[in-house]
Amino acid sequence: MSLVKYIIAISTGIFLRSTISLHSYSGENNPPMYGDFEAQRHWQEVTVNLPIKDWYENTTDNDLLYWGLDYPPLTAYHSFLIGHFAKYVNESYVALHTSRGITTDDHKFFMRNTVLISDILIYIPAMLLACHVIFSKLLKMNMEKSESFYWLYVLIAISYPGQLLIDNGHFQYNNMSLGLAVLAVSAILINKRIIGAILFVLSLNYKQMELYHAVPFFCYLLSNCFVESESQRRQSVISGVSHLFKLGIVVIATFVIIWSPWLFSLSSFLQVIHRIFPIYRGVFEDKVSNVWCIVNVFMKIKDNFTNEEMAKICLGCTATALVPSSITLLFNPKKKQFLYALINSSLAFFLFSFQVHEKSILIAAIPVILIFPLEPFMSFWFLQVSTFSMIPLLAKDNLISAYIGLSGMFFLMTKIIIDNARNKKQEDMNFLQILYNINFNKSKKWIERLLIGCYVLSTIVQLVLFLGYFFLTPPEKLPFLHSLLISAFSCSHFLFFLFYFNCKQLLMN
């Protein structure tokens, strides 16, 4: 792809993010807690003004009931850096206690730009690198012959509506943890496993939800200590143990460096762990498109199980859902297997684990984006549904107009690029051929037609549920009916995608 097209793609991504940043954010003008925007700002206030030992502690100056830090240390360090920059720009942004709930336009501009800078420095370069590595190195596709398809791949990777709406709209720094994870994937795919391990540890230490990706990284790296993934050539036991030892030392050393301020006190260490894994919050909070939210409709979880019991049940169900994909990857550690395993692992965690948020579907969406050249139809469908599943959250943040605009542009952009390639007869492509290409042989065309029919039906139901959410008043006894219907509808899709991608991984040579 030419340099000009790279510049256009990057500019498009930055323009869309900047436009979304003009909308409202989580908790805007909504006291007393204000929302995720205030949470991120408050962490800057805490880390700048308090000693590091108090960052996760409940003190007179750090009320943990008011957005106490509950992400790993790398998030705290990031907040510390931004907080010092905020203090330099305008000390009132992070003034201890008095800055709570600040809503000035200048501060909104500052905070929005910190997310945009993270996108420019981490997330967008990571996605561009991953697209290049997967397309040209792993799949060995001809860049010149498939330029339009690669152009589409890049634009989808950096313009996925879900990530833009959550980070640049709702307000989060998922771009940091996801960007580091994608860099780790790229390093693994070019056989830089030590670098990949370090990058993934950094990602995991930014947000604990990266545990969703941890099992495939563990299985692939462990297996490749003893077996060369593509050639399946076995390493000697001594060589394998040596590789494993080096990998272990690097991972442990990275953790120790990041956690060092809390390792000299057992109580401090346990307090950070307690904050990161808050069992007391319950299995879920708002309506989320996972299994437990649906189960709760028929059997009230809080009335039948304690939080500790549910945590054990969630752990068992998640581990069970992980088994097929993980065992397959462990004994067949190929790079394509690794990409599919990332999807299957993150979907298993999202559907069955404890304390899942709507935004966590982004963790599954990223590896789905990465396999777009292998699964254009299923990837597009998944990305569409994953964004749709967050409608109740987006409605709460007044981001529905942004959702409509981005989703429409995402679909239209895809169609224009493919139709342009068809007109040029570059690859004899048309919209249906590429977007609905499921790579079945002629004897299985009925499966392709069935899936396309399911996609069309799914899109129609999404439109009906969307209109119902905004124009139909729910019954008084069921005030959350519309949110629950969206969650159940989306959950059914995610269960189907988990089954589909597991089948594709299990059947892969």
Please give the pLDDT value at position 426: 47
Residue 451 — pLDDT band, cuts 50, 70, 90?
A: confident
Asked if residue 362 is part of any domain, the answer here is yes
Instruction: Tell me, yes or no, whether 88 lies in a domain.
Output: no
Range with lowest mean pLDDT among 180-184, 218-222, 421-425, 444-448 = 421-425
For 59-79, the pLDDT digits (tens) are 999 999 999 999 999 999 999
Angstrom distance (rounded) from CA 160 to CA 177: 16
What confidence category does residue 1 fall into, taking pLDDT thresholds of 50, 70 and 90? low
Whether the per-residue pLDDT at 445 is higher than 70: the answer is: no
pLDDT digits (tens, 9 = 90+) for 319-376: 999 999 999 999 989 999 999 999 999 999 999 998 888 999 999 999 999 999 888 8
Which tens digit of pLDDT belongs to each residue from 366-407?
A: 999 999 988 888 899 999 999 999 999 999 999 999 999 999
For 305-336, give the secondary structure using H, E and C.
CCHHHHHHHHHHHHHHHHHHHHHHHHHCCCHH
Considering only CA atoms, which of 327, 340, 334, 366 is closest in space to residue 188?
334
Say whether pLDDT at 424 is over 50.
yes
pLDDT score of 432 more than 50: no
- pLDDT exceeds 60 at position 436: no
* Mean pLDDT, range 159-177, rounded to an integer: 96
pLDDT of residue 299: 87
Confidence of residue 441 (pLDDT cuts 50, 70, 90): very low
CB of 118 within 8 A of CB of 175?
yes
Which residue did the predictor score with more confidence, 303 or 96? Answer: 96
The number of distinct structural domains making up the chain is: 1
In a domain, 208, yes or no: no
Task: Report residue 430: phi and psi, to 5°.
Answer: -135, 170
Domain membership of residue 188 (yes or no) is no
Tokens linked to 157? 């990777």
Mean pLDDT, rounded, of the chain: 89
Decide if 390 is inside a domain: yes
Pick from 53-62, 74-83, 153-162, 230-239: least confident: 230-239
pLDDT at 202: 98
Rounded CA separation 345/363 (Å): 10
pLDDT at 427: 46
* Predicted pLDDT of residue 440: 43
Residue 302 lies in a domain: yes
287: left (phi over 0), alpha (psi -120 to 50) or beta: beta
Question: Does residue 439 come out as left (phi exceeding 0), alpha (psi in the -120 to 50 range) or beta?
Answer: left
- When pLDDT is cut at 50, 70 and 90, the band that residue 409 belongs to is confident
Residue of 147 and 295 predicted with greater confidence: 295
Domain assignment of residue 327, given as a range: 278-397+438-509
Q: Is 131 exposed, middle or buried (0-12, 13-18, 19+ CB in 10 A)?
A: buried
Residues of the chain with pLDDT > 70, as a percent, come to: 91
Is 334 domain-assigned? Answer: yes
Is residue 442 scored above 80 in pLDDT? no
pLDDT computed for residue 278 by the predictor: 82
Report d(CA 238, CA 242) in Å as an integer.
6
Q: What is the mean pLDDT of residues 417-437?
A: 51
0.85 surpassed by pTM: yes
pLDDT at 231: 55
Does residue 451 lie within any of the structural domains? Answer: yes
pLDDT above 90 coverage of the chain, percent:
67
410 pLDDT band, cuts 50/70/90, is: confident
Note the pLDDT tens digit of each residue in 284-306: 777 789 999 899 888 888 888 88
CA distance 305 to 295: 13
Is the predicted pLDDT of residue 443 greater than 60, yes or no?
Answer: no
- Tell me what pLDDT residue 143 has: 64
pLDDT over 70 (residue 430): no
